[in-house]
Chain A
Amino acid sequence: MQYSEKVMEHFNNPQNVGTLDENDPNVGVGTYGSPACGDVMKLYIKVENDAIVDVKFKTFGCGSAIASSSLLTEKIKGKTLEEAMEISNKAISEELNLPAIKKHCSVMAEEALKSAIEDIQKKRQS
């Protein structure tokens, strides 16, 4: 697969890889995808005063899935939840110049983020 330089940059040096404590009330966890389909992203966000102060991810998937995950974490770090929600898969796929056949990887990143935000909102309500 011919990838853009930006994809290779993130793939070779992925940002914010790791996990956060799932039991921390300020940490939201989101997962998206399935092993059978070839990509799974698990995203952890730590939220203080409505702002994402820390973020980590783990991704099972191809090169573009890992690059999309890494870029997403860079984009949302320091943002408020509202700002983060506005980041679309399109922005990620355009910035990485993903091949058409790999665009679903950016969708995975967006969906994992939505799922993590839902998780933190649920935690806060309870």
Chain B
Amino acid sequence: MKLPVYMDYSATTPVDPAVLEEMLPYFSDQFGNAASIHHKFGTEAGMAVSKARQQVANLIGAEAKEIIFTSGATESNNIAIKGVAERYGDKGKHIITCVTEHKAILDTCKYLEQKGYEVTYLGVDTNGMLDLQELKDAIRSDTILISLMAANNEVGVLHPVKEIGEIAREKGVFFHCDATQAVGKIPIDVNEMKIDLLSLSAHKIYGPKGVGALYARDKNPRVRPTAVLHGGGHEKGMRSGTLNSPGIVGLGKACEICQEVMAEESARLKKLSDKLIDEILGTIEFAKLNGDRQHRLPNVVNLGFAYVEGETLMMFMPELAVSSGSACTSATLGASYVLQAMGVKDDEIHGSLRFSIGRFTTEEEIDFAVECIEKSVHKARALSPLYDDAIQGKCCKYGKCCDHGHGCVDDE
């Protein structure tokens, strides 16, 4: 077993060796510009891009012509939301999204609010689940777009994408789905789920960083977001810029592999994450699972450890690479807004860790992780005055946030 053990696959994944191998020729021998259609160098690159376009389309049940290559899901999300807002702004200026979406969605929506658009942010329940009735009620005559993710990046909770798609289609509103975390882990079919726009990223599915795709439905209904980047008119004018052919080839191959192995891989990962959840909840007191137990990705586990702080937990187990929802580990000192939206108390958010596993995770690593977590929680609680209070049954008698506390970066 190689140390440290990587359990942060939701942040990024290693490139699959088969993907890397496929990419390599496009850096050197076959370096041509896919837009140079009059010589062999260009046509070779062009053919590789076409193949990749088909591979991406296959994974989500789309047609190749509906795939636009981008630099990643952040860009795809930007094109989908800003592009639809601009193109269809004369039909209406109302957008619906959810408070637990990724910042690439929320910040884009905030930007549009400054430009005169109105955004409804749906809430979630304590399990991170949406209320479909709330969604239905939020739709207005001037609603042009519903943007809801397939799976949450912090807690792994799944939204009922098919039901959302049906509601959107019935009301004649475009449905954009940020499926960055879901693609390659759970089956996604844009037709069956009535998705009109979909964002995905290569580096979450064992492809390279810096490349992703936007699916934009070609007919019934046709959706044509305006461009965010202007230039040579690449990608049907929706995304100018010379195509990143090695990256695109990598994304295509990554999608092809996901399609082949997804059913088996997800079943294996679900078993491993169930084991992680059950062993931790079974052995560590005051531990809890954040997010719905049933409706979740097979590979993401978010656990809360009361009375201890996430950064300390992570520092006590440097042999395990995970993420924390704690304010103390983020550059802005803001606690996880996803857990806050789920009603998790601030002090519990500080002790939350996200374990995300993947293709190369072994059962041995899960066993090792459980050991590390137990030791680390034990060590951190031995230092914690809150844990002392809890086991002595004392109630919390602490004050409010200190004047020099979080959010106060420069306190001198």
Listed in ascending order, the chain A residues whose CB lies under 8 Å from chain B are 1, 11, 14, 17, 19, 31-42, 58-63, 65-66, 90, 100-104, 107-108, 111
Q: List 9 tightest A-B contacts by C-beta distance, closest first.
A: A35-B347, A37-B401, A62-B328, A42-B385, A58-B385, A36-B346, A62-B311, A107-B404, A104-B404
C-alpha gap A32/B400 in the complex (Å): 9
B412 in the interface, Cβ–Cβ < 8 Å?
A: yes
Q: Are B385 and A101 in contact (CB under 8 A)?
A: no
Across-interface contacts of A33 in B (CB, < 8 A): 398-399, 402, 405
Asked whether, in the complex, the Cβ of B410 is within 8 Å of the Cβ of A60, the reply is no
- Given contacts A38-B328, A66-B312, A101-B333, A60 and B402 within 8 Å (CB-CB): no
Give the A-B contact count at a CB cut-off of 8 A.
112
Residue of B nearest to A108 (CB): B402
* Contact residue among A35, A36, A37, A100 (Cβ-Cβ distance under 8 Å from B410): A100
Alpha-carbon separation in the docked complex, A31 to B409 (Å): 22
**Are A36 and B385 interface neighbours, CB within 8 A?**
no
- Cα A126 to Cα B311 with chains together (Å): 41
Q: How far, in angstroms, from A32 to B402 measured CA to CA in the complex?
A: 8
With both beta carbons as reference points, the residue of chain B lying nearest to A107 in the complex is identified as B404
Q: Are A100 and B398 interface neighbours, CB within 8 A?
A: no
Q: Which residues of B contact A111 (CB under 8 A)?
A: 402
Q: Which of B326, B328, B388, B401 contacts A34 (CB 8 A)?
A: B401
A38 touches B309 (CB 8 A): yes
- Is the CB–CB distance between B405 and A62 below 8 Å? no
B26 to chain A, nearest CB (A): 36
Interface string of B318-358 (1 = CB under 8 A from A): 00000000111101010100000000011100100000000
- Which A residues are CB-close (under 8 A) to B350? 35, 38
Check A61/B402 contact, CB under 8 A, given A35-B386, A103-B412: no
Q: Mark B387-412, 1 if CB is under 8 A from A, else 0.
A: 11000000010111110111011111
Give the distance to chain B from A50, nearest Cβ to Cβ, in Å.
26
A44 to B327, CA, bound (A): 27
B234 to chain A, nearest CB (A): 40
* List of A residues within 8 angstroms of B238 by Cβ: none
Not counting A35-B386, A38-B346, A58-B388, a sample of 18 additional A-B residue pairs whose C-beta atoms are within 8 angstroms of each other reads A19-B388, A35-B346, A35-B347, A36-B347, A41-B385, A42-B385, A58-B385, A62-B311, A62-B328, A63-B315, A65-B309, A66-B312, A66-B383, A100-B409, A101-B333, A101-B409, A102-B328, A103-B411
